[in-house]
Amino acid sequence: MPASLEVSGLAFAYPDGHQALFGVDFTVGRGERVALLGPNGAGKTTLVLHLNGILTGGAGTVTVAGLPVGKTHMAEIRRRVGIVFQDPDDQLFMPTVREDVAFGPAAAGLRGPELEARVHKALGQVGMAEFADRPPHHLSFGQRRRVAVATVLAMEPEILVLDEPSSNLDPASRRELADILRSLDVTVLMVTHDLPYALELCPRALILSDGVIAADGPTGELLSDGDLMGAHRLELPFGFDPKTVRVTS
């Protein structure tokens, strides 16, 4: 079976001439959980926006489960690559949780019992089924983030792309979300500055710096390399030593 994601020679410059990517190459296998790390301005957002065709026109290729990202397959690519935004309020806009989770599949043509089953399954995956008829703005921030994940899971994606998933979460909500992400049978690409969370959830990490992949390897090994971290403006929290952390997959 083809890899979930293949990026080859991806380069991109914005209309003002700013070159954000200079030739990015990596592959993510099916079912992998991979952290995308890097300082601000490294090109992480630009890269993510290429994964479902929001940005195009540069050099190189992006392939999702064997399908090249381009106009021919755009609808299917956007179903297969689900992006969960950093702020769930950017993603939730319907009167109830149920309607928010149903929106994407309904727009794709799903109706009746099949649509209801899809919504029920997605909410169950994130532990929010009992909140289906609640207005999203009545939920806690952590609950809204889980509903935002459900809106993407309802499309049955190949790849779940998470933008800073742990931001603004209290410790219990961080743990709950981590448990959910471990339970999902989906490829995960997690963009984060939260290095301990990356170590906890992602066996592999990529460091994107100055528009290229500067390192690709086991997350613990990369975070333990002080010279590598310093060269790319990555810093661990005070007192955190990745060598002492026992990580379970």
246 falls in which pLDDT band (50, 70, 90)? confident
Nearest-10 crossing angle of helices 141-153, 97-107: 20
Q: Domain spanning 5-85+160-244: which superfamily?
A: P-loop containing nucleotide triphosphate hydrolases (3.40.50.300)
C-alpha–C-alpha distance, residues 190 and 187, integer Å: 10
- pLDDT for res 249: 65
- pLDDT for res 34: 98
Whole-prediction pTM value? Answer: 0.93
> Using an 8 Å Cβ cutoff, are 98 and 45 in contact?
no
Average pLDDT over residues 167-175: 94
Tell me the residue type at 226: G
What's the start-to-end Cα distance of the chain, in Å? 23
> Using an 8 Å Cβ cutoff, are 56 and 69 in contact?
yes
What residues does each domain of the chain span?
A: 5-85+160-244
DSSP count for the chain of H helices, then E strands:
9, 10
- pLDDT for res 247: 72
Beta-carbon contacts of 237 under 8 Å, excluding residues fewer than 6 positions away, are: 195, 196
Take residue 160 and report the two structure tokens written for it. 């779940």
Residue 107 has pLDDT above 80, yes or no: yes
Q: Tokens 């940005």 belong to which residue? A: 55
Query: Tens digits of per-residue pLDDT, 85-98?
Result: 999 999 999 999 99
58 falls in which pLDDT band (50, 70, 90)? confident
Residue 53 has pLDDT above 80, yes or no: yes
Average pLDDT over residues 138-160: 96
What is the DSSP track for 142-163?
Answer: HHHHHHHHHHHHTT--SEEEEE
Residue 57 has pLDDT above 80, yes or no: no
Q: How many CB atoms lie within 10 A of CB 74?
A: 14
Query: Order of strands, edge to edge, in the sheet holding 59-64?
Result: 19-28, 5-13, 59-64, 67-68
Closest-CA residue to 44 (of 32, 35, 31, 56): 35
Secondary element (H or E) of residue 76 = helix 74-80
- pLDDT for res 70: 87
